Each structure stands twice: as structure tokens, then as C-alpha cells.
Amino acid sequence: MQLDAKIPGGQLAEKWDRYRFELKLVNPANKRKFEVIVVGSGLAGGSASASLAELGYNVKTFCIQDSPRRAHSIAAQGGINAAKNYTNEGDSIWRLFYDTIKGGDFRAREANVYRLAQVSNNIIDQCVAQGVPFARDYGGLLANRSFGGAQVQRTFYARGQIGQQLLLGAYSALMRQVGTGKVKMFSRREMLDVVVINGQARGIVTRNLITGEIETHSGDAVVLCTGGYGNVYFLSTNAMASNVTAAFRAYKKGAYFANPCFTQIHPTCIPVHGDYQSKLTLMSESLRNDGRVWVPKNQGDKRRPHQILESERDYYLENKYPSFGNLVPRDVASRNAKEQCDMGKGVSETGLAVYLDFEDAIKRDGKDAIEKKYGNLFQMYEKITAENPYETPMMIYPAIHYAMGGLWVDYNLMSTIDGLFVLGEANFSDHGANRLGASALMQGLADGYFVLPYTIGGYLAGTPLEEVTTGHSAFKESVTSVNNHVEKLLSIKGKRTVDDFHKQLGHIMWDYCGMARNNERMKKAKGMIQQLRAEFWENVLVPGSGKDFNQSLERAGRVADFLEFGELLLIDALSRQESCGGHFNEAYQTEENEALRDDENFCHVSAWEFAGKDKEPVLNKEELKFENVELTQRSYK
Ligand SMILES: Cc1cc2nc3c(=O)[nH]c(=O)nc-3n(C[C@H](O)[C@H](O)[C@H](O)COP(=O)(O)OP(=O)(O)OC[C@H]3O[C@@H](n4cnc5c(N)ncnc54)[C@H](O)[C@@H]3O)c2cc1C
């Protein structure tokens, strides 16, 4: 299929305005005739549902959790970017656009990223109007701090709880619409299939996670806001329920999956402590505003940090990247931490950690000031590690955190299935090969509050939609296939738990396709995953029944999808014979060990098409055109 991103013509800065003018409108009285299904109620789904209902559409919103307030978005710690330039440091829409394109190692679309920077300012206004309690400076203006890959302070924050505060804002807007009856909220529902009729997404099949009932829902369009797939690595900073199921099942119905190998490894997480862990904890990037990253200069130095003199410490990020220092982007900081540990300079019992030290900041600004900015993060760190970070440097190590890849979408955020829109972390749209900190929330809310509400109108107004009910044969086929899948999982009655398979998959993914990748190992991993998948379908143990609350069954379905998706990720990584952003193939690096792109052969989005069970997926390419920025080797020196 020829991929058409539908990027409007004209000057970069005018594209979005012109496009919005050209889009067909649904007149206010007609909006109530349409029904839109939104799957997911995190920041992307919550904001989209609320905005669509506010416009007059009828919305049905679904989520796995018991309340939208428990979406993974709530975990976001550090902040959200916008080009307000409140700090008077010379920020602008152009600068935010440029930093984001460069931060993504020139693997994102110019038009999308520019639009994102443009609407970033509206997001802050919207959230302030909702009462989101952003931190303020002494004069009462909203305060800003720095995040990686930028030399201006443009990150709006609420201590270390930005996700919670933004989600409360979106949730209030959503619940207002639930109150008016424009949104019907279906919590504890898992979407297990998308129903496509005449090439258009016209509904979904869900499982009621409390009763086990398989349910069908029809609509005029379906919007997936189901988050990222980082948990394919088992251990990640993502919420335990984060999964790829909705996106992957849509992929199997014809939605292309773009750049699955672009996964983000966050440099500052609490290191793995043992084999019993099922989750990792992030220590927000915002901490690198004040924390200094270092390792002992001597290999194998096992002294306590306070015993290591200043002259014996290597502040390797500050030394190597003087312009950006500790605030280099995540991919760069992660690789450097790994490099130090590989050289034997890592700290902690495992040798897989580096220090993040606040001693100088506390001396300079006082403990109170540091506590005000990061108090809850320090408390979280102390609870988990039993070390007091005001007195002893934090120990941190990179971990899987975010998915830049996702379902392919055009400028309208529509996938390759007509009427199936994809928002937030679930799509691939704006971050290229590496997302800059504080840009995920910006993108999710831009999609939900300010992009979809226009583009979906263009689709609904301009597309003939036949009358469809859940009695249609396509719904029946879908229900049969979902039931078969559930019954198959329950019937195996093997000896290994779902978690056991998930953990093994995670080990393969991390060891063979993690921070550093090489072709031989990736090829080997592909075979290992195929074997593991075969064993899963013969030997997994899923106790209980399908007609009941059954978390093992829920997990089994998600892990079954991860076992297929993991292979797709490897296929994508193997096909991209270059290094860029978070995708670091050891064969392609500069003399200074930075990622070496191959713009001649790989300046494209890889969009994978499902070709059938046990068949290699088909690669479709969307060439990326850079008309406004020059492709350069990224440098943060
Ligand atoms: C610890 C942590 C801290 C972070 N901090 C920041 C930060 O400071 N700044 C920043 O910009 N970004 C941050 N991020 C990234 C950011 O939080 C996420 O990218 C973003 O919140 C994702 O929002 P979303 O709405 O796309 O998805 P989510 O919030 O993951 O929501 C997914 C929704 O989909 C539902 N769902 C999933 N699958 C199904 C299914 N099959 N059926 C029905 N419903 C389904 C879920 O129930 C949920 O409602 C952080 C991430 C982590 C892990």
C-alpha cells in the first residue's frame, strides 16, 4: 500500500491553520448523530473523550482499570513542555520544534512536530483553566524547569506529580461529560478486537473483566488511546497493566505498526535488585536539573560515595557534553551510563548503577528548596531503597520506559484502517527515534484536546457511513474469534505460569535487543522468541474460568500478544541497519560511540503490515522529507 501521510502543503508554520480551514465540518446539530468509541482514558483518551463530547458527539469510553484516574498517565513525574518562553530565555515554537526533531534523531515528520509545538501553548492554557496546580514562581507566573535535550527551561511541572495533576484535570472534564450523558464510561473492559466493516473501523469487542462477558459495541469511528508497549521487556517503568493488545489486534486487522524498534530507555531508574522484581521505578529526569551524575574514576572502587574524593570522581556527562551536561537526551545519557558500567566503574553490589548526587545542590540552594522541587521523588526513593538521598547520592541505571513506535497514523491521526484513529503513546507520530523528556504528555494532550477534535470531524463529515449495528456478521465473527482465543488459553493447563513466560521474554528482549543491539544476537533472539511462543501455547497454565474475574487470563492474553509483538520489534530492529536515537546497532557508531544514522537508506518510517499467521510481515516505507531543518549528526557537546 502506498502510504499517504496527508501532510498539507504550504509553509510549515501555516500548514495546520490552513488545513483546519480546509477540513470539512460537522455542523453542531449533526454532531449528536455520531457515536465515537474511545478506547483508553489516560491523558490521550480522557482529553479526547471530553473534547469530543463537549463538541456534541456521543462518546463511549473504555478502560481496563476501575476508574480512568488509574490510567498509567498518572505515573508521570517530571513535567510537560510548552513554548511559552516565560523564562525569557529565547524559547519559541520554532525552537521547541527544532529540539524535538533533533532529539528524535531526525526520524519524525516535520509537519506533525511543528503542529505539536504550536499547540503546546494551548495545552497549558487549557490545563490552567481546569485548575491544574502547576508550580509557580515567586511572581505568580507558572514556573519552568529544564529537561533533556533543551537549553531553555520550558517544562511546566507540579512537583514530581504532573501526571496525576493533569489526569485529574482531564478526568474532571471527562466526568462532566459523563454527568451530561454525552460520555458513557465503560471501565473494567478490555478491548480484544476491532471490528472492520467495508474497510472502516465500526466497533470493538471487549471482555468485561469482572463478569468475563464478551461484549460488542458499534460506532462511527474508533479511537485507540491505549498507551505504550514497554512491558514487552517485562521489567519497565510502565504500569503493570500497560500492554500492546489493542494496538496489536488492530495491526492484525490491517493497521500498520510503525517503528516498533524505537523504544526508549530512561537513564535514571532505580536499578534492578533481584529476580523477584516485576516492576521498575523511575526517578524523574527533572532530577538532573540539580543532580550530578558521576562514577568513581577507578574501576571496581567499592568505597562508599562519601569516601571518594572530588578528584577521584568522573562527572562523565558534564565532562563529555559541556553544553548540555547532565541534561543530554535520554538515549545519550543511557548509553553513557552503560558504557561506564561496562568499563567496570559501575557502583552498587551489581556494578550496574551510577550516582545521581544532590550534595552540591543542597549546599547551594538548601535542603528546603530541593525538597520543594522533588520531595515526593526523594521519599519514593527512600521507601524503595532504604537510603536517604538528601545524605547519600541516589543510585540509578537505565530501564525501559517509553515506546516511540506505535500504530502508523497520518496527519489526521488516522491509521491505515479508515475511521481507526490512534492517539498518545499508542501511535508513532511525533518523537522519531528518541522522545525528549516532558514531550509525551504534550503529545498525548495535543492529540486529545487539539488535533483529533478537528480531524475526526473532517473524516465523519466527508465519509459515507452505512448504518451498522452489533448484529452485523462482522461482529459475530469477531466474537467467535475472541472466544476461541480465550478458550484456547484456558484449555492448555500446562505447567508454567504466564509471568514466567513474560519474564523470559523480557530477558530475551533486554539482553538481545536492549540498549545496544547487534545483528547476530538479534537474529538469535528471533529464534528464541519463536521457540518460547511455541512453548507458551503448549505449556502455559491459566487457572480459573473465562466467565469470571480472572487476572491470570487477562495477563495471558496480553503476554500472548507480546510474544508475537516481540518478534515484530526484532524484525524491525534487524531491518533498520543504522543507529538512531534509542535504536543503537553496535555496527553503526561514530568514533565517539554516538549513534550513526544512514540518511541515504533509512530516512523513513518503517510501517509493518500483518501478512498472516506465521508469515513475515510486509515492510512499507514512508519517506521522511526535511524541507525546513538540515539533517546533521546530533551533537550535545
Ligand atoms: C514513571 C513514568 C513517568 C513519566 N513521566 C513523564 C513526564 O514527566 N512527562 C512526560 O511527558 N511523559 C512522562 N511519561 C510518559 C507518559 O506518562 C506516557 O507516555 C503517557 O502518560 C501515556 O498516556 P496515554 O494516554 O497515551 O496512555 P496511558 O496513560 O497508558 O493510558 C492507556 C489507557 O488505555 C487503556 N487500555 C489499554 N489497553 C486497553 C485495552 N486493550 N482495552 C481497553 N482499555 C485499554 C488503559 O486502561 C488506560 O486507560 C512517564 C512515564 C512513566 C512510566
Residue 438 CA to ligand 1 center (angstroms) comes to: 13
Using CA atoms, how far apart are residues 182 and 184, in angstroms rounded to an integer?
Answer: 7
Under the banding of pLDDT at 50, 70 and 90, the label for residue 314 is very high
CB 183 within 8 Å of CB 219: no
Q: What is the pLDDT of residue 633?
A: 86
pLDDT (mean) for 130-140: 93
SS3 264: strand
Q: What is the pLDDT of residue 592?
A: 84
CB 404 within 8 Å of CB 427: no
Q: What is the pLDDT of residue 274?
A: 82
Q: What is the pLDDT of residue 635?
A: 84
Under the banding of pLDDT at 50, 70 and 90, the label for residue 351 is very high
Residues with a CB atom less than 6 Å from ligand 1: 39-45, 62-65, 71-73, 75-80, 162-163, 189-191, 225-228, 237-238, 242-243, 245-246, 282, 401-402, 424-426, 438-441, 444
Q: What is the pLDDT of residue 413?
A: 98
C-beta atoms surrounding 57 within 10 Å: 28
What percent of the chain stands above pLDDT 70? Answer: 100
The DSSP bridge pattern shows strands 35-39 and 540-541 to be unpaired
- Indicate the average pLDDT of the chain: 96
Which one of the listed residues 107, 330, 555, 576 is annotated catalytic? 330
Q: Whose CA is nearest to atom 15 of ligand 1?
A: 440
**Is 330 designated active site?**
yes
- Grid cell for residue 420: 481507526
CB 439 within 8 Å of CB 101: no
CB 201 within 8 Å of CB 417: yes
The number of angstroms, rounded, from the C-alpha of 245 to the middle of its chain's C-alpha atoms is 14
Of residues 557, 560, 567, the one with CA closest to residue 610: 567
Under the banding of pLDDT at 50, 70 and 90, the label for residue 273 is confident
